[in-house]
Amino acid sequence: MAISEPLAVSISNRFSSRKSLEKPHSVVQFLKQLGFSDDHIRSSVQSRPQILFSDVDKTLKPKLHFFLDLGLTGPELGKLVSTHSHVLLDSLERTLKPSVDIIKNTLVNDKNNQDLIRVLQRTYRGWVFSKPVSRLKCNIAFLESCGIVGPQLSYLLKKQPQLFFISETSVRDLVSRVLDMGFSVDSRMLVHAVNAVCSISGETFSRKIELFRNFGFSEEECMDMVRRAPGLLMVSEGKLKLGIDFFLKEVKLGRNALVSYPICLMFSMEKRVVPRYRVLRVIMSKGLLQKEPSLSYLLTISEVEFLGKFIFRFPDDAKEILEIYKGDLLDS
């Protein structure tokens, strides 16, 4: 493995008392045997040079085999260590194992530790291991006290792993903001609201509310939509604008209908909303349906159901309708 000259000089100066290169050589060879690439090793050493002087058998091997036993492959482990190299210096018994055990016990139906591995890979700056285990415990206890338990807690951990490692005060403040928006601790939507608010800045939240206001929605109507569909906060402003414009102007929905069914703004306009609506207009104009289905039904049924109920059930017109459905309808 080639290490840049500046890095080599820096390491040499820092560990000038270490005369032998035997230990660094054995460390590099061991990491390569596990599947670490040269880039993985270089990044790890650049961040934590002392890794090169660690004892392979006593320090590195137990920790790395702990991760391998969780199901990480060699290259995956190399990527994890290269971005969170301090894990090789943390205590296995006091830090790594306790944190991983808590996460494993929180995740629900995690086959082969796949969700666990994703959580470990996604945490900002390796917070799973760099923050006290007590912080993880306190945040879980607080979220559970808010009614976020079992599958919901598991969902939130997978979506926002960093939330579990920030200060308890910050978590309480975030949940408080969500409750101020009108959510309650006994609402099944609370966890989705926490996920959404955790995903955006206050500035982004304000811009999206202002976007709705520009279309004539009142402040209360805006918050009502967010309470019904917290995921709206994570939809891009461009997509929201396109969707609101389409439903109000082309579909001729009233604003109250959008307030009642805001989830329609979360579907893909190009892949679902526009194609399905154009198909509906065609079959209604041909008199193929006696009663027009609700918009919520039209948009929420599966692709297989939609094709069967709105295209293939009309064999004489199916080819034409299918061409309309698959066409470049958004720009037509």
Q: What is the mean pLDDT of residues 12-30?
A: 70
Q: pLDDT for 190-223, tens place per residue?
A: 999 999 999 999 999 999 999 999 999 999 999 9
Global pTM?
0.85
Q: What is the CA radius of gyration of the chain?
A: 27
Q: What is the pLDDT of residues 45-86, one digit of tens each?
A: 988 898 988 999 999 999 999 999 999 999 999 998 998 888
Domain assignments of the chain as residue spans, ordered by start? 1-89, 91-169, 270-332
| Alpha helix segments (H runs only) across 84-218 | 97-106, 114-122, 127-130, 133-145, 150-159, 168-180, 190-199, 202-214
CA separation, residue 145 to residues 153, 184, 185 (Å) = 11, 12, 9
